[in-house]
Structure 1
């Protein structure tokens, strides 16, 4: 993580404390920062805050106003922030369970959501528990209890279903036709690699590291070629085509959905 991202996180915590006061008991970097794979200019800043008590809606709106990009400029693609009550973070439930969700940044569509019921089902409800699973394993504690204590992992059977749901959601999205390179397909392939590594081995890896691990395991040559192309695209190479990425996702979904949850897959 670069210095600008660290300064931003420090300012974000200060602004959140100004709104939430003593109810704010923890702050954690998730995603690429937690997994030590942050790429300046490409990665999001993923943050989870924990509070003791539920937030009234005026306070939720005040927090969003304080942290949105227009008031606290994000030096990355954008901020993805979620606030949880401590009881939810430690529950291990597969439910979204959040108090506030905020997406805001210079290259990110704005989103503010103040309860799970207001989150459109079509946008996916699996993100939150998967993020809490990553936080349990690899969250970077900014302040508060260690992330492994503040967040429980999801139970194996529920985590298995979340991985299936996430892949099914991605596969249902439109994909560019034809054999031309399609921007974004590299993340589709590498995200599927991360899900498959979690399913096979029980641990979360950064996307590129997950792709490299799968490439060293018994895998069809065409799948290895897709992984290598996706990794190269992260540093400027041409991305895979839409059909190639879709075929890769379907292969991963077939393996995960066709085999049971592993006892160790909850960390």
Structure 2
């Protein structure tokens, strides 16, 4: 883990304990940090906090004030923080279920959402169940018991449904016409690779590792996947149309598994 990120996570947990006291029962690094795929200058820092009981409005707002970038500078592109009650974390629910969510950073628009019920469907309500599934497998405990004990996994049916919802959401985003290189197309391809590996093999991998596994197994779109991986080394991104076609194919396979 990057030294700056390690210190930042320690400072974040200390600030959260100042606000929540004994009600803070767990803190976990998620995302690329947990999966061992953090890239300086590219990755976000993803953190899940777990509290014993529901938070009142005052504690939510104080937590956001203490942890936003202006108060605690994030060394990455930004911080994506979600707070769950212990009951929700251990339930395996596919619903958002969070107490408060914070997005903040030098290169990330500020956003605070004060409950899971406020999360708009247009913004995607599938993220949270999938994130907790990753936490169950690989969450890095900063405070509290191991992540696999704190977070329950999704049922297979809920997992596949949320993966289909996620791919459908991505496919609805604007796409440049034609086959010219499109910014973000590599993430679309590699994110679909990760979803497909999770569905096929029952394991979450970093996006690049998931793409490499499919290449090693002779996926028909090997050339596209390899180009998406090469973007991480400075290559041009794939075309938007071919990235969307790949996502549709992955979605069709996962739907068939349902």
1:84-103 counterparts in 2 under 5 A?
Answer: 84-103=84-103
- Matched residue count: 258
User: Could you say which residue in structure 2 is the equivalent of 1:243?
Assistant: 241
1:10 and 2:7 correspond: no
User: Could you say which residue in structure 2 is the equivalent of 1:224?
Assistant: 222
Q: Aligned-pair RMSD on alpha carbons?
A: 0.8
Stretches of structure 2 that go unaligned for 5 or more consecutive residues are none
1:83-232 counterparts in 2 under 5 A?
Answer: 83-220=83-220, 223-232=221-230
Cα offsets for 1:178-222 (capped at 9, x unmatched): 2221111111100000000000000000000000001112421xx
Structure 1 residue ranges, 4+ long, deviating more than 4 angstroms after superposition? none
Residue 112 of structure 1 aligns to a residue whose secondary structure is strand
Aligned partners of 1:14 and 1:227: how far apart in 2? 41
Stretch of structure 1 that moved more, 102-111 or 194-203: 102-111
TM-score by length of 1: 0.95
User: Could you say which residue in structure 2 is the equivalent of 1:265?
Assistant: none
Cα offsets for 1:73-103 (capped at 9, x unmatched): 1000100000000010000111110001000
Aligned partners of 1:57 and 1:143: how far apart in 2? 23
Aligned partners of 1:258 and 1:175: how far apart in 2? 25
Alpha-carbon shift at residue 177 of structure 1 (Å)? 1.4
Residue 84 of structure 1 aligns to a residue whose secondary structure is strand
Aligned partners of 1:107 and 1:178: how far apart in 2? 29
1:44 and 2:28 correspond: no
Aligned partners of 1:236 and 1:58: how far apart in 2? 45
Aligned partners of 2:210 and 2:47: how far apart in 1? 22
Alpha-carbon shift at residue 117 of structure 1 (Å)? 1.7
Aligned partners of 1:183 and 1:177: how far apart in 2? 12
Alpha-carbon shift at residue 241 of structure 1 (Å)? 1.1
Alpha-carbon shift at residue 64 of structure 1 (Å)? 0.4
Residue 104 of structure 2 aligns to a residue whose secondary structure is strand
Residue 258 of structure 1 aligns to a residue whose secondary structure is helix
Aligned partners of 2:170 and 2:3: how far apart in 1? 33
Aligned partners of 2:247 and 2:170: how far apart in 1? 8
Aligned partners of 1:175 and 1:148: how far apart in 2? 37
